[in-house]
Amino acid sequence: MIAVAILLALVGIGGVAFGAADKPSTNASTAGSTTSTSELSGSDTTLPGATDTTVAGAGAGAGATSTTAASGNHSTATTAAGAKPSGICGDAPATSTDPTANQAPAIGRYTFVDCTDNSKTVDEAVTAGASSNGVTRRNVTADMGGQQQTSSIAYGPNGVLIESLSFDSPQGRLTCDLNPDVLNYPADIHVGSQWSGSSTCDIKNNAGVKYGTIKLDSTGKVTGKVAATVGTTTVNAWSVEGTITLTATVPSFGSQTTHINERGYYDPAHGIEVYRHAEVQNGSGSVTTDEKLSSLTPKAS
Residues 196-215: tens digit of each pLDDT? 999 999 999 999 999 999 99
Per-residue pLDDT tens digits for 96-116: 999 999 999 999 999 999 998
Residue 6 backbone dihedrals phi, psi, to 5 degrees: -60, -45
- Dihedral sign from CA coordinates of 20, 286, 256, 195: negative
What does pTM read for this prediction? 0.77
Radius of gyration of the chain (CA): 18
Mean pLDDT of the residues in the chain: 76
Helix (H) or strand (E) holding 72: none
- Dihedral sign from CA coordinates of 293, 264, 152, 20: positive
Given a cut of 50, whether residue 55 has pLDDT beyond it is: no
Contact 53, 5 (CB under 8 A): yes
Euclidean distance between CA atoms 195 and 156, whole angstroms: 17
The top-scoring range by mean pLDDT among 12-21, 30-39, 41-50, 91-100 is 91-100
- List the one residue out of 132, 10, 65 whose CA is nearest residue 277: 65
SS3 227: strand
DSSP code of residue 285 = E
Confidence (pLDDT) at 182: 94
Contact 149, 141 (CB under 8 A): yes
Given a cut of 80, whether residue 79 has pLDDT beyond it is: no
Confidence (pLDDT) at 25: 31
